[in-house]
C-alpha cells in the first residue's frame, strides 16, 4: 500500500495539474470581448465581398484596419461605417498589381498606426473560361494581382510582423486543391499561393510569425452572383432556385456568405489560435470531397 508521503505527493501533483489547466479552461470558457484590441491589420481586396466582411468584423473585434483596394469610393464607405461604429480604419486606394504598391500599403499602415500585427492577403480574382481562349494578358493579370501581390506584401510587411510577432493569413480558394477545366488560371494561381504559404510558414517558425491560409468555397460575392445568374437563366431567372439547384448538384447545404469567412478570419487572428501554423483550412460547406 502507498504510504502517507506518496498520497500527499499525489494530491500535490493533482492540484498542480488542475491549477495549470485552469487558465486555459478559463480562456476557452470566456473569450475576450474584443480580442484584437490595439492590433493593426492590413486587409487587401477590402472594398467588397469577403474583404469587406473581414474588415468590418476585425474592426468590431477591436483591430485598427488598413484597407487596400482600387475602388476609392467603396473604401471610403467602409471606413465611414467602421468609424461610425466606434472603430478605427484608414484606406489606400491602389492598384495592387503594381510592384511598388504593397510597399506603399505598408508605409501607410506604419504612418497611421506605427506597427503591423497582421496581414490578410485577400486581393485577386482570375478570369474563368475556355483555356484556349484565355490570353497572355489574362494569365499575367491573374498572377500579378493575387500571387505576386501576396508575395510582395508579405515581404514588405515581414520586418514589422517579425517585430510584433504577428501573422499572415492568405485567403486563397479551393480551386488550388481541386482544379477544373474552366478555372485553369485560378487553379494555377491558387496552387502557387498554397505552396507559397507553406514555404512562408516555415520561415515564420524561425522568425516568430504565424502563417496560415483559408480556402473559401462558394461564397455569395459579385463573382458567384454572375455564375448564378447564368444558372438562373435556366430556371426562369430565379436566383435562389439557381443557388439551391447548384448546391444540390455538388452536395452542399447552401451557398456561403462573406461573413462565414470573416468569422473564421477573426478566430485565426485571435490569441485563441496561437498554435495554428502552416494550416490550410477549407471553408466550403463540404464542397471539397478529397482528402
Domain boundaries in the chain? 35-219+257-283, 220-255
- The dihedrals phi and psi of 282, each to the nearest 5 degrees, come to -85, 120
pLDDT at 291 over 90: no
pLDDT at 179 over 70: yes
Question: pTM for this structure?
Answer: 0.85
Average the pLDDT over 33-45 and give the result.
96
Within 13 A of 123's CA, how many CA atoms are on the CB side? 35
pLDDT higher at 215 or 5: 215
pLDDT at 203 over 90: yes
Confidence tier at 250 by pLDDT (50, 70, 90): confident
- pLDDT at residue 3, as a whole number: 58
Nearest to 262 by CA among 94, 44, 50: 50
- pLDDT at residue 42, as a whole number: 98
- pLDDT at residue 7, as a whole number: 54
Chain-centroid distance of CA 55 in Å reads: 10
How long, in residues, is the chain? 291
The per-residue pLDDT of the chain, averaged, comes to 89
CATH fold label, 35-219+257-283: Rossmann fold (3.40.50)
User: Could you tell me what percent of the chain has a pLDDT over 90?
Assistant: 70
Range in 74-78, 161-165, 235-239 the model is least confident about: 235-239
Range in 29-38, 44-53, 110-119 the model is least confident about: 29-38
- pLDDT at residue 18, as a whole number: 46
Confidence tier at 16 by pLDDT (50, 70, 90): very low
- pLDDT at residue 178, as a whole number: 86
pLDDT at 230 over 80: no
Q: Which residues contact 168 (CB under 8 A, 6 or more apart)?
A: 118, 119, 121, 154, 157, 161, 200, 204, 209, 210, 211, 212
- pLDDT at residue 247, as a whole number: 86
Average the pLDDT over 187-210 and give the result.
97
User: Could you tell me what percent of the chain has a pLDDT over 70?
Assistant: 87
Amino acid at each position: 500500500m502507498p504510504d502517507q508521503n506518496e498520497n500527499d505527493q499525489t494530491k500535490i501533483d493533482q492540484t498542480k495539474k488542475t491549477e495549470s489547466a485552469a487558465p486555459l479552461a478559463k480562456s476557452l470558457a470566456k473569450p475576450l470581448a474584443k480580442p484584437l484590441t490595439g492590433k493593426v491589420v492590413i486587409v487587401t481586396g477590402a472594398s467588397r465581398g469577403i474583404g469587406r466582411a473581414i474588415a468590418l468584423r476585425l474592426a468590431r473585434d477591436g483591430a485598427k484596419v488598413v484597407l487596400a483596394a482600387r475602388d476609392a469610393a467603396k473604401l471610403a464607405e467602409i471606413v465611414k461605417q467602421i468609424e461610425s461604429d466606434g472603430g478605427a480604419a484608414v484606406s489606400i486606394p491602389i492598384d495592387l498589381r503594381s510592384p511598388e504598391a504593397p510597399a506603399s500599403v505598408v508605409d501607410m499602415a506604419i504612418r497611421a498606426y506605427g506597427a503591423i500585427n497582421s496581414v490578410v492577403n485577400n486581393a485577386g480574382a482570375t478570369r474563368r473560361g475556355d483555356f484556349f481562349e484565355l490570353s497572355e494578358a489574362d494569365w499575367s493579370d491573374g498572377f500579378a494581382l493575387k500571387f505576386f501581390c501576396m508575395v510582395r506584401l508579405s515581404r514588405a510587411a515581414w520586418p514589422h510582423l517579425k517585430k510584433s510577432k504577428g501573422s499572415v493569413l492568405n485567403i486563397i480558394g479551393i480551386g488550388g486543391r481541386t482544379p477544373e477545366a474552366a478555372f485553369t488560371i485560378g487553379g494555377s494561381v491558387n496552387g502557387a499561393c498554397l505552396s507559397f504559404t507553406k514555404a512562408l510558414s516555415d520561415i515564420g517558425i524561425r522568425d516568430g510569425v504565424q502563417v496560415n491560409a483559408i480556402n473559401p468555397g462558394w461564397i455569395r460575392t459579385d463573382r458567384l452572383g454572375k455564375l448564378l445568374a447564368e444558372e438562373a437563366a435556366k430556371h426562369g431567372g430565379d436566383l435562389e432556385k439557381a443557388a439551391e439547384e447548384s448546391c444540390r448538384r455538388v452536395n452542399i447545404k447552401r451557398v456561403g456568405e462573406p461573413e462565414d469567412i470573416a468569422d473564421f478570419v477573426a478566430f485565426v487572428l485571435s490569441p485563441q489560435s496561437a498554435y495554428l501554423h502552416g494550416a490550410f483550412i477549407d471553408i466550403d460547406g463540404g464542397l471539397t470531397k478529397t482528402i
